[in-house]
Structure 1
Amino acid sequence: MTTTQVEILEKEEIKLVGFSVMESLNDILANRTVGILREDLDKRKNEVENREGDGIYLIQLYSAGGWTPDTPFENIVAVKVSSFAEIPSDMITHVVPAGQYAKFVHIGLESEISHTYDRINDYGPRPFDVEYWEDIHSLETEESEIDIYIPVK
């Protein structure tokens, strides 16, 4: 498992369509909630109009009161769209704001991503972070790469 802070970069806003769930990290791990939503979205992504690419995003929005593994927070699993059109009735929209982001890359098994977050957490609390999975079917391989974007203040 290798992690690298690749760069600080400017990102344009990202328009997303997908699913949202409010759950703690411990519940997500116990119930595989995000994994199930990711698989459901992968099966249904062709229903999303104006979709760009096959990758899937995870947006984790943290509450202002501080984060613990038992504190529920919003998790959005979504695909990128060029513009919002007709949205499937059980899906939501979300916009990741444009701005400056630190990009980290987690290389290796997704199940070991906590090691990467331990390093990222050294930078202090943040309002949200963004994961990008290009291929969800290879996440438990040694070659898997997950891009993680952290907003820079």
Structure 2
Amino acid sequence: MEARIETLAEKKLIGKYIEMSFTENKTFQLWSGFMPKRKVIRNTVNDNLYSLEVFSNGHFDNFDPNKTFQKWAAVEVQNYEDVPDEMETLLIPDGLYAVFIHYGPASEGHKTYHTIFAEWLPNSKYTVDDRPHFAVMDHKYKKDDPDSEEEIWIPIKNRD
């Protein structure tokens, strides 16, 4: 699996989040609550959707699938001047990311993540950094269509 290494410029997002764990996945509930309201968000940068995970520092040390994190559904905005009711802001700080393309239905995404964390990352010169992880879904994203594509952004830093 190939990675594209990118330095991300800071991004401002507006959306909703839910506390969840890998064993208690509430992604469907999150997106069901977000999608009907996303059009009330003004000054969006583009039509891309962001699915993000904000983990506590050291979340992947002694990994526990029951440990909770924030799961976000969001869009990128130019500024935070008009934040709709029931929405929150999230700032993704600038930093280094490994970017992967997941090809195929969203339901098969776990296979791509497994390859990233079990094969690519251990064999790279990088380790996971404590910044948001996210997927970008643009016009190529078609949910459960076998021709769907989405970008997966993993925050990285050089190994010590």
Deviations 1:34-82 (A, max 9, x none): 2232243222222112112222101111223534221111111101101
Give the RMSD, CA atoms, in angstroms: 1.9
Shift of 1:95: 0.8
1:89 partnered with 2:89: no
Distance 1:8 1:136 in 2: 21
**Please, which of 38, 46, 58 is the counterpart of residue 45 of structure 1?**
38
Moved more, 121-130 or 93-102: 121-130
Q: Which has the higher helix share?
A: 1
Aligned residues: 146
Structure 1 segments (4+ residues) deviating >4 Å:
none
Contact map agreement 1:102 1:151 (CA 8 A) in 2: yes
5 Å-filtered alignment, 1:1-153, equals: 4-28=1-25, 33-66=26-59, 67-122=63-118, 123=121, 125-127=128-130, 128-135=132-139, 138-153=142-157
Deviations 1:73-130 (A, max 9, x none): 1111101101112211211000111122110111001111111111121325543311
- The alignment partner of 1:25 has SS state of coil
- TM (normalized to structure 2)? 0.82
One-letter code aligned to 1:145: E
Contact map agreement 2:140 2:149 (CA 8 A) in 1: no
Distance 1:64 1:95 in 2: 16
Which is higher, the Rg of structure 1 or of structure 2?
2
Contact map agreement 1:60 1:76 (CA 8 A) in 2: yes
Distance 2:138 2:27 in 1: 16
Shift of 1:147: 0.5
- TM (normalized to structure 1)? 0.85
Shift of 1:137: 7.1
Contact map agreement 1:5 1:102 (CA 8 A) in 2: no
